[in-house]
Amino acid sequence: GKRVKGVQIYRPFIYGTTARPFNDTDNPRPAGVPADHTHSWQVFVKGVDDTDIFYWLRRVQFKLHESIPNHLRTIDAETIMKENEGKPPAQRRKAFVVNETGWGEFEITIRLYYDSRSSEKPQTLYHHLRLHPYGRTEAEKEAMRNGGEVVAWVYEEQLFNEPFEDFYKVLTTG
């Protein structure tokens, strides 16, 4: 295939983690979760404002800490899209997500796989799972505590430089 010369296409996305401590009211530790687990958390890759990214990002692989059973989690856009079929928009999944519980922070390796027509190699991102409030000041940490959630989100833009013609069509027609 030929490349579209002089063209650069950006697609924004967000990746990161959201964690919540277990408590006796709105986030009780589910049955079967080990007693030393202190938090529920999730790691995700999604579009900004939940815009569709499944047409260009086809697979995400999350590599969790090896202490976690089945620590390599692969999620295919195809699978999510099949599950979404026939569901009203509000009930469709818009993100590549892994939900887990645990007690410790660690670095998550996130591997992004693109549509095969792009000929782009997979890209690797590294993200630190945060369970505990963080910030430069006590006020910043307190703000996180008040929300009951610890969020560590990163805004990113995927650049496709001079994409192949077939992939350019995918990118521009969705």
Sites of contact with ligand SLL (CB under 6 A):
65, 67-68, 102-106
Residue 59: CB minimum distance to ligand SLL, A: 24
Nearer to ligand SLL, 58 or 65 (CB): 65
Residue 171: CB minimum distance to ligand SLL, A: 38
Q: Is 167 helix (H, G, I), strand (E, B) or coil?
A: helix
Residue 67: CB minimum distance to ligand SLL, A: 4
What Rg value do the Cα atoms of the chain yield, rounded? 18
Nearer to ligand SLL, 4 or 129 (CB): 129
Strands (E) in the chain, as ranges, are 8-21, 39-47, 57-63, 72-76, 95-102, 107-114, 123-128, 150-161
Nearer to ligand SLL, 11 or 73 (CB): 73
Q: Which residues contact 3 (CB under 8 A, 6 or more apart)?
A: 162, 163, 164, 165
Nearer to ligand SLL, 68 or 80 (CB): 68
Residue 41: CB minimum distance to ligand SLL, A: 9
Q: How far is CA 7 from CA 18, 120, 152, in A?
A: 35, 15, 32
